[in-house]
């Protein structure tokens, strides 16, 4: 419709629509800026949470406290420990396997300066960190070996849990 033939009502509607469009753009920019600025803060929070979970798990291991270790494991048949070429699945079986390790020498020293977190989703994180294992069968001299440990954490209704533990012989993070 040519401008000379527009009614007052249609002009008001256009101005209103234009204002709504500007308001929508402003709201979108505000939300984008808020999300953008929160990204590093959320990553830092996830890193701190992962460190806390990991350090608590290591402390329970070094205390040979199978009950605390079990309480931190994901209550799922999918919980996995793959170590020494043996796959162990399920919370109870994994906790029992750790309990068996505690009968001998078992001590873990993580290199937290090389601790890395990958946030996969709001419910899944993975950590990588080299750890010096001091271990030995009962009555045998202990040995030290360094492994790169990969742990996956899952968040469910009960909070964060350790879903998998995978020691890898190659400890070089590149």
Residue 168 vs residues 26, 97, 150, 162: alpha-carbon distances, Å: 50, 18, 8, 17
The pLDDT assigned to 56 comes to 97
Mean per-residue pLDDT of the chain: 81
The pLDDT assigned to 72 comes to 97
Is the pTM above the cut of 0.85?
no
Q: Which helix (H) or strand (E) holds 149?
A: strand 143-156
Please tell me the distance from the alpha carbon of residue 131 to that of residue 73, in angstroms, as a whole number.
19
The pLDDT assigned to 172 comes to 64
- What digits encode the pLDDT tens for the residues 25-45? 444 444 444 444 444 444 555
Residues contacting 172, CB < 8 A, separation 6+: 148
**pLDDT at residue 97 is higher than 70:** yes
Which of helix, strand or coil describes residue 75?
coil
| Banded pLDDT at 173 (limits 50, 70, 90) | low
Please tell me the distance from the alpha carbon of residue 44 to that of residue 47, in angstroms, as a whole number.
5
Please tell me the distance from the alpha carbon of residue 100 to that of residue 91, in angstroms, as a whole number.
14
Statement: 43-168 belongs to CATH 3.40.50.150: no
């Amino acid at each position: 419709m040519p401008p000379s033939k527009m009614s007052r009502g249609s002009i008001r509607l256009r101005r209103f629509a234009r204002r709504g469009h500007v308001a929508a753009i402003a709201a979108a920019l505000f939300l984008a800026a808020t999300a953008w600025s929160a990204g590093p803060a959320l990553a830092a929070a996830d890193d701190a949470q992962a460190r806390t979970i990991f350090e608590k798990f290591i402390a329970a291991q070094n205390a040979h406290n199978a009950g605390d270790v079990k309480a931190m494991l994901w209550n799922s048949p999918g919980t996995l420990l793959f170590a020494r070429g043996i796959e162990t699945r399920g919370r109870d079986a994994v906790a029992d396997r750790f309990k068996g390790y505690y009968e001998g020498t078992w001590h873990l020293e993580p290199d937290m300066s090389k601790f890395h977190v990958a946030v996969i989703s709001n419910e899944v994180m993975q950590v990588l960190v080299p750890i010096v294992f001091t271990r030995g069968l009962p009555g045998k001299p202990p040995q030290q070996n360094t492994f790169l440990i990969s742990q996956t954490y899952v968040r469910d209704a009960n909070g964060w849990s350790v879903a998998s533990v995978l020691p890898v012989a190659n400890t070089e993070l590149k």
